[in-house]
Amino acid sequence: MDLWEFLLFLVVQRACSGLEVTVPLSLQTASPGSIVLLPCTFRVKDSTVNPNFLAVVWKYGEKELVKFDNKGLTSTLKASIDPQAALKGDATLTVHDVTVSDEGTYKCIVIYSPEMDQKTIDLRLQATPSVKMTKKALLKNQKNRLVCSATDFYPRAITITWRRNGQVLLTSNTGEPQGNGDGTYSVNSSVILNPTETQEKQLIECQVEHESLGKPITDEYSVIYGETPSVQVFSLEMPGPRDMPGQRERVVVCEAKRFSPEAITLNWKLEGKLAKTPGKNEDGTFTEQIYYRVYPSPDNEPEDFSCEVQHETLLNPITQTHQVRYFSDQDKSNHLGLAFLLGMLVSMAGIGVLLWFLLYKKKYFQHFMVSPIYGPETSNENDKVTFYCVAFNCLKATEVTWCVTETDGKPVTLPHPRTKDEEERLLGCDYTMRTDQSGDNKLQKVITALIFAPSVSHHSNMTIVCKFTSDGKTKETELKWSFTLRKPQVSDEKPIALSLGDSGDVICSIELKDFNPKDIGITWSCGAGHYQDLETIKDKITENSQKTYDAKSECRIPGNRFTEPGFKVRVTWRHESMEEPEWREVSAADLPWCPQMSDISVPRLLHGKEAKLQCKISGYFPDALTVNWLRREAGKPDLFPVSPSDKYKIPVMNVTRQEDQTFTCIASIIVNVSIKPDHRAEFICQVGHLTSTLEKRTGELDVKGIPVVDVAFTSKRSDNWLIANVRSFYPDQITVKWSRTKYDSKYVEYPDITEEVTKSSDGTFHLITKCKAKKFKDKKSFKVSVEHESLESPIEKVMSPHKDSFFVTYKESRTPLPQITSDKEDGHPPDSAKLHEATEK
């Protein structure tokens, strides 16, 4: 027996029970992964519930989750009810490990025969966001991007607000929330801090508002500033251990320098890393090095070693890769040459020399050896350089001495410190040495470094010697190194770049490249003949890939200053590599925002009507534009200025600023058009802006005259005449036709009499045409039709007889024709003047 058969049975068995089901009125909320209870209670008329008459069903949409009746409980691991509680009137549903997919409407159905009652309850999922802001050291005088992430929240709607020292930042950018695999969402928001907005004490807050939160949550960051590390990877080559004399060793060095704050992580993307404690430089920045030792064989292929550097100033790590090449053909040829030389010595010196060599060769190969000095090819003044030298197969008590001979011949010696006083003396020296030893109890490898900040006065031509002393024996190696000046390079085409600011000013900037040393002086000034110094808004000096420096400097000039006659902006720079300062200038002639003119739009020109000629002028800056309208008469070369009058109106221009901060306006002139002066004449729009002049021409104007048709009626003796006066048309080509109705009311062409076309004093033309209307009693209608190139469709006038006269029908109106008296005996109409006078009346 299924559920509904059982219910039917109960209906037959039971009388009214007074069933009432109750659920909470409010939404039920839960967080993903929790256990949620959906309350549902019921009561019956009887004090106790008879299980034989009870059935409880829970549904989610149309899906049945739980069923409890006299057959028992059917449920899942996801959802269930307590059967014992149900017999006491509590049908609460327990949902385990809820997810976003469990959100929705649930239905609690209770049947206690013969009654049934049901209620719905809504479950809403809410997941509280986790908020984390990327905390990184900011770079001064640069744009810095901060990112705030809100993750694992639900529902989707969320608000992220950035504040700096309590003030809302309106330049933030929040992306669209992205769905996670569990139905929750995550979103990133970022804000850009511009160089002009940087200040020493800033508290940046990322505030998140979400319906799952009682109050907004905030992650904050007190801004610190730092320097991005400069990373260099290089390798040193040396012979291998004593027990493997044929195997060479490479020491790969990863060096990060001139960074702050101190915390940094250097990792090889290989095994076998050795970390050193960061050393603080005199300028407050730090240097960090790690070494990686490699034991290649002659058959090894070139291998890439990558050093990954993580630092607070970096959103993404810096990775530098160095390729290590082991043995070259030159190395192998050197080894073969050495073997050949030894053979020659044996053959020439005889057995005695050979025995001597055999006795001492073991001791010879045990002597320590020293690598060449490795260092940078170029450097910048006050930017510290490091020179490396390696000794191997040394005894443990090995001393290192560096000797530097500066440009003036003065030697500077840095001996291996033996006492505390010597260590303190070396710390106060312009040169710093660092030494690292490693190996077994008998033989050591010694890596030593000499560090100093070069200057032109001391190091333009110098000699560096590194000396190792071990077991009473000394080995040394020498390097000649030169620190040279590099003159700033500037673009010859457009050295000063120009752009527009938001407040109507001109931003002037210059880039100086590839100079050395770092110190450079850049000043801005402006004026007309007499120059006044300006305040720069940004100076930025960066180290380039050539280990020299680039500089960029900017200043702002009010845009209206360029309208002053002779006004110029000058930038001057001074550098140690230059005997005299250099400078460049810009003036109004160099501004790139010259006006662009559209063609003059010319409407249809009609005699006796006004016409508006327009020209759009755009893309200019500053707003210092002059517009003049000129006119050239037909067939003449001379131009005449146009001034406001009864014939010409020149409206005031409406100037607007565009998004790119340039200006746009519409220049226009309104002309009262007439044939005689304007046909084949030409208008010119002339625009002046700072040092440029532009113009656009209409070309010869084509003026049309629309015909005006006047009709009249005259009667003389037995003749009746219909007369049409066609006037004010141009050009003179025109077609006029008369027609009249037949008995079937269709029009047929009717003969007419037409005078010649004549020219009026205003340059237009006119003609008079007539046809004879014999009798009124035949009730025939007449029509005159005028075709002209100025008309989109012919002008037609219909004249219908009425008693002793005619009515004209034109544009759905009926008007009696004016009657005129002929002055001629033949009944021809009067002259055109009288006809025009009559028709006008």
709-731: pLDDT as tens digits? 998 888 766 677 889 999 999 99
Same domain, 21 and 100: yes
Name the token pair of 556.
Answer: 């702002």
Give residue for tokens 């534009």. Answer: 625
Same domain, 92 and 188: no
Q: Which of 82, 107, 125 is the last residue of a domain?
A: 125
Q: Is the pLDDT of residue 795 over 90?
A: yes
CA 572, 573, 578 angle in degrees (round to 5)? 125
Same domain, 143 and 217: yes
Same domain, 714 and 698: no
Same domain, 526 and 629: no
Q: How far apart are CA 612 and CA 299, in angstroms?
A: 87
Mean pLDDT over residues 12-20, rounded? 58
Q: Is the pLDDT of residue 359 over 90?
A: no
Same domain, 456 and 396: yes
Q: Where are the beta strands (DSSP E) in 471-520?
A: 473-481, 496-500, 505-515
Would you say residue 809 lies in a domain?
yes
3-state SS, residue 344: helix
More confident residue, 267 or 646: 646
Report the number of distinct structural domains present in the chain.
6
> Which distant-in-sequence residues (6+ apart) come within 8 Å of 319 by Cβ?
269, 306, 307, 308, 309
Q: Is the pLDDT of residue 339 over 70?
A: no
Lowest mean pLDDT among 670-674, 719-723, 792-796: 719-723
Would you say residue 814 lies in a domain?
yes
Would you say residue 362 lies in a domain?
no
Would you say residue 163 lies in a domain?
yes
Name the token pair of 25.
Answer: 């009125």
CATH number at residue 800: 2.60.40.10
Mean pLDDT over residues 345-358, rounded? 41
Mean pLDDT over residues 398-412, rounded? 88
Q: Is the pLDDT of residue 88 over 50?
A: yes
Asked if 506 and 500 touch (Cβ cutoff 8 Å), the reply is yes
Would you say residue 535 lies in a domain?
yes
Asked if 191 and 146 touch (Cβ cutoff 8 Å), the reply is yes
Would you say residue 562 lies in a domain?
yes
C-alpha to C-alpha distances, 376 to 166, 384, 481, nearest whole angstrom:
48, 10, 9
Same domain, 712 and 828: yes
Q: Is the pLDDT of residue 14 over 50?
A: no
Same domain, 731 and 834: yes
More confident residue, 726 or 424: 726
Q: Comparing C-alpha atoms, which of 97, 328, 131 is closest to residue 217?
A: 131
Same domain, 682 and 713: no
3-state SS, residue 412: strand
Same domain, 522 and 475: no
Same domain, 21 and 90: yes
Q: Is the pLDDT of residue 825 over 50?
A: no
More confident residue, 74 or 445: 74
For every residue of 681-712, DSSP letters joined together read -EEEEEEEETTEEEEEE--S--EEB--EEEEE
The segment with the largest mean pLDDT, out of 44-58, 327-341, 795-809, is: 44-58
Same domain, 217 and 169: yes
Q: Which domain holds residue 617?
A: 596-703
Q: Which of 226, 258, 289 is the last residue of a domain?
A: 226
**Strand order across the 28-30 sheet:** 28-30, 115-125, 104-112, 54-60, 63-69, 72-74
3-state SS, residue 358: helix
Q: Comparing C-alpha atoms, which of 154, 184, 159 is closest to residue 172?
A: 159
628-666: pLDDT as tens digits? 999 999 989 999 999 999 999 999 999 999 999 999 999
> What is the overall mean pLDDT for the chain?
80
Sequence-separated contacts (24+) of 217-222 with Cβ below 8 Å: 217/129, 217/131, 218/131, 219/131, 219/132, 219/133, 219/148, 220/133, 221/133, 221/135, 221/146
Please report which confidence band the pLDDT of residue 337 belongs to, taking 50, 70 and 90 as the band edges. Answer: very low
Buried b (16+ CB within 10 A) or exposed e, 668-705: bbbbebbbeebbebbbbbbbebbeeeeebebeebebbb
Q: Which of 63, 92, 125 is the last residue of a domain?
A: 125
Q: How far apart are CA 96 and CA 35, in angstroms?
A: 5
Q: Is the pLDDT of residue 374 over 90?
A: no
pLDDT for 365: 41
Would you say residue 441 lies in a domain?
yes
Would you say residue 537 lies in a domain?
yes
pLDDT for 546: 73
Mean pLDDT over residues 221-243, rounded? 70
Lowest mean pLDDT among 1-5, 237-241, 646-650: 1-5
489-535: pLDDT as tens digits? 998 778 999 999 888 899 999 999 988 888 899 999 999 878 888 88
3-state SS, residue 81: coil
25-43: pLDDT as tens digits? 888 889 888 999 999 999 8
pTM: 0.48
